[in-house]
Amino acid sequence: MNVCGIVAEYNPFHNGHLYHIEETKKKTGCDAIVVVMSGNFIQRGVPALFDKWTRTKMALQSGADLVIELPLLYSISSAEYFAQGSVSLLDGLNVVDHISFGSNTTDLDALKRIANVLYLEPENYKKLLESELKRGTSFPIARSNALKNFLKKEYDAKYISEILLDSNNILGIEYLKALLYCNSSIKPMVVERKGGNYNSTTITNNVCSATAIRELMEKEELKTVQDVVPKATFDILNKEIVNGRTPMFLKNFEKEILYTLRRNSSKDLLNIADVTEGLENLLKKASCEGMELENLIDIVKTKRYTRTRIQRILLHALLDVTKSDVEDYKYNPQYIRVLGFTKTGEKVLSNITNNSNLPVVTSVSKFLKNANETSRKMLEKDIMATNIYTLGQQIPKYREVNLDYTTPVVRV
């Protein structure tokens, strides 16, 4: 079988995602689409709008064939570790021929060149980067400036700047870099994005970003959402809301996050993933001043610490993700956690079982009976994350625990 891999959050699945899948099938002629999808918390440092099984249904009803969960330790990490975990997992399936990602540039050669520099880190590039960081600029800006200088003989500085200003391009570069690290035979391909950028709130025809959809959902403007998502997605969203399930936003966990910051000492907070020395004191102080979460984020974020990074740190604290956790697992997925599949996906899953060295998990309880300590630790993070995720629900009956044990694999 010709199998293509996609890394996604589908938060929620919209018409742009549908276009991506359709174009991927056209360009590769693939027989099946395998999606590595974030679980209940996502890379920009917020909870997913709806749980991972609900989003799996959306994907499977709109062209995906097999959905595999990206473990928490990758899904709420930086773009670099998010991509490394995702690509390592796709590569570990031993059945994937292509990886397809959406980008606002289709210049794959330029993306590959930038990825190559970031992977090899030539000495001159490292010196340029260090010089930029000493000025106190944020890492993304420092890296952009260093790359512009390093590649100035090959590419116009403005062109490199335009590429690196777009978050989807940056993520694509990280996928390409991860392929190099894995020495993977998976071939990359790019599909030009339609509609708004990642953070855009503009609706163009029937396409917009997931950010725009989430804003509409927060304003309870579900009717407008109907125009920018596939019918299957809208039906699922509508059913969830009618049944009383709450769309999730970071504010749903405001008290839990503030409690965590107040309960832990500054020394404990320093051990949290992505917290650098000095930031732990600022987080501790801000959490004790009786403010809302939004105020805390505004106070803590600086030129060096972006809003998204601060949000990820808050989730790391809430979910007890430490620096050692990230370091232990950054290139090392332990298993293949299946969230759902179609009939075609079931055939792909059979091939994975026969070809991959990673164990396939369709039953959490069965897997944990014989899992080694490393695998157990990774999976227990996801179980714990789901248990905390349900606390965001307004209706008590939906605050269940152990859904990872009781929720069946989605079959479409």
Write the single-letter amino acid at 171: L
pLDDT at 196: 52
pLDDT at 201: 53
Residues linked to residue 322 through DSSP beta bridges, in sequence order: 272
pLDDT at 366: 97
Q: Rounded distance, CA 24 to CA 26, Å? A: 5
Residue-level pLDDT, tens digit, the chain, 412 residues = 999 999 999 999 999 999 999 999 999 999 999 999 999 999 999 999 999 999 999 999 999 999 999 999 999 999 999 999 999 999 999 999 999 999 999 999 999 999 999 999 999 999 999 999 998 887 888 999 999 999 999 999 999 999 999 989 999 999 999 999 999 999 999 999 875 555 555 566 688 889 989 999 998 888 889 999 999 999 999 999 999 998 999 999 999 999 999 999 999 999 999 999 899 999 999 999 878 999 999 989 876 788 999 999 999 999 999 999 988 887 789 999 999 999 999 999 999 999 999 999 999 999 999 999 999 999 999 999 999 999 999 999 999 999 999 999 999 9
Domains by residue range for the chain, with CATH: 3-104+173-178+184-197+333-411 (3.40.50.620), 121-165 (no CATH), 250-327 (no CATH)
pLDDT at 204: 61
Q: Rounded distance, CA 70 to CA 72, Å? A: 7
DSSP 32: E
pLDDT at 58: 98
pTM: 0.94
User: In Å, what is the CA distance from 175 to each residue of 22, 76, 329?
Assistant: 20, 16, 17
Helix/strand/coil percent split, the chain, to 5: 55, 10, 30
Q: Rounded distance, CA 368 to CA 181, Å? A: 30
pLDDT at 34: 98
Q: Rounded distance, CA 332 to CA 358, Å? A: 10
pLDDT at 139: 82
